[in-house]
Amino acid sequence: MIEFKADCGHTIRAKDEDAGKAVRCAYCGKDAQVPQDEDDSLDFLFNEVARNTMRVDEAPAVPAGRRRRRRRSAGRSADSDFDVLDIAKKLAFFAVLIIAVVVIWKKVVPAVTSASRQTSASDLPPPEPEAEPQPSASKGLTALSLDSNRGGLYVNSVPPEARVLVRKKSGSKDYIWLDGSIDRSVRTERAIPLESGDYEVGVAMVISDPALMRYPGYTDVRRAIEAGDGSKEDRIAKFFLPDGARETRSAEVPGWPRLLIRLYDVKISEKQWTPLVALFLPDGSIDELIKYLPQRSAFRFDTNHVQDELTYYEVPKTDQRYLIDALERIGSVVYRKTDGGYSQFSIHLTEGWITRDVINQSRVSGSDGRSNSRN
């Protein structure tokens, strides 16, 4: 039995012996040619897909789903040029090609790449061992660049940004801040070029500075100063840590809030930089003072050497780490010893050496108690 569709779309069933003959369609009454063989080839499928995907306005009058049933033949069909064997060969070829690409990608390429890497690595000289980081040759003050062809004063303070005024010593007894010169003052941290000679340096802070107000007990000292207590100068001197200042006092300057001032005698040598760090810090142990210092490091030095020097000066191990930390931050710190004496340790501005000045306990009362011992 041969089953096929007429042009009207009606299914016709004909006998096998009617193959190639014309038979009448019982639906539309027109003659229809009975196919001679059955065609299930790929062109039939492609034609069906093409017909099904056409736009509606391009659809043919004949239903797209029509399927001709033909008997298979050994060669090409009588009404089609489609070669089934040729398509099968092409599909087989592409299948083999895809399999070969997959095998090469998974097996051959990794092996070749690995061998190439090994060969390239063997051709190169062995890598040199990484150099261990070397300590920087720069020691001493790192926060500022000091002109080696000049000399002068490097001045800093704790708390930072105090007012600084410098004048060369003379026979005048006028107070350094009472001649209206505060407007010509500068702020710490600063390098001030100076000729060689003896100088008077004044470092001042406003009495209401927020950093000062955080110190335990400072409020009582401030009240005594503002109340005009006759012992106010002594109270100021005893409250602050001795740092080599010749005098610590308060002063009223027109147009300014009341000031706290520390005065220093400084000798400047030719083409040498002299450090001065004004410590407006409460008199206390080093572990208490460290929290009031700036956080950033401004000095570099040989830590082991400094530690050996502190050990030589009989600073307990428990305090050495605080002193080293303080020296890295500000370069100069006063250490209160257990016997009541004071030692001021400082780092050389350009070489990174550590030096020590001894400050006698009488320094607290305002007399010049600095020792000439310098190590």
Q: What is the pLDDT of residue 108?
A: 61
Which helix (H) or strand (E) segment holds residue 199: the answer is strand 197-206
Q: Specify the residue for token string 């460290």.
A: 290
> What pLDDT digit, counting tens, does each position of 325-360 carry?
999 999 999 999 888 889 999 999 999 999 999 986
- HSE-up of residue 367 (Cα within 13 Å, Cβ side): 5
- Tokens matching residue 326: 């303080």
37 residue type, one letter: D
Lowest mean pLDDT among 212-221, 252-261, 300-309: 252-261
The CA-to-CA distance between both ends of the chain, in Å, stands at 124
Q: Is the pLDDT of residue 224 over 80?
A: yes
Question: Coil, strand, or helix at residue 53?
Answer: helix
The pLDDT confidence band at residue 176, using thresholds 50, 70 and 90, is low
Rounded to the nearest angstrom, the gap between the alpha carbon of residue 229 and the centroid of all alpha carbons in its chain is 52
Residue 178: the pLDDT is 59
pLDDT category, 173, cuts 50, 70, 90? low
Output the pLDDT for position 344: 95
CB 225 within 8 A of CB 252: no
pLDDT confidence band for 58 (50 / 70 / 90): very low
- SS3 label, residue 23: strand
Residue 131 confidence (pLDDT) above 90: no
Question: What pLDDT is attached to residue 321?
Answer: 95
Give the residue among 153, 131, 159, 126 at the shortest CA–CA distance from 141.
Answer: 153
150 sits in which H/E element: none
pLDDT at position 111? 61
Q: What pLDDT is attached to residue 242? A: 92
What is the C-alpha separation between 116 and 122, in angstroms, rounded? Answer: 10
Residue 249 host element (H or E): strand 247-251
Dihedral pair phi/psi, residue 90, rounded to 5°: -65, -45
The rounded distance, in Å, linking the Cα atoms of 158 and 75 is: 106
How high does pLDDT run on average in the chain? 77
Q: What is the CA radius of gyration of the chain?
A: 51
With contact defined as beta carbons under 8 Å apart, do 298 and 330 qualify? Answer: yes
State how far the Cα of 182 lies from the Cα of 78, in Å rounded to an integer.
117
DSSP E strands, 45-187:
140-141, 152-158, 163-168, 186-187
pLDDT tens digits, one per residue of 292-334: 999 999 999 999 999 999 999 999 999 999 999 999 999 999 9
pLDDT, one tens digit per residue, over 270-286 is 889 999 999 999 999 99
Q: Which of 14-23, 117-126, 218-227, 357-366 has the lowest mean pLDDT?
A: 117-126
Question: Residue 24 has what pLDDT?
Answer: 82
Q: What is the pLDDT, as a whole number, of residue 304?
A: 95
Q: What is the mean pLDDT of residues 188-217?
A: 92
The reported pLDDT for the residue numbered 115 is: 54
Residue 112: the pLDDT is: 54
Q: What is d(CA 237, CA 156) in angstroms, rounded to the nearest whole number?
A: 20
SS3 call for 339: coil
The model scores a pTM over 0.75? no
- The DSSP element (H or E) to which 49 belongs, if any, is helix 42-53
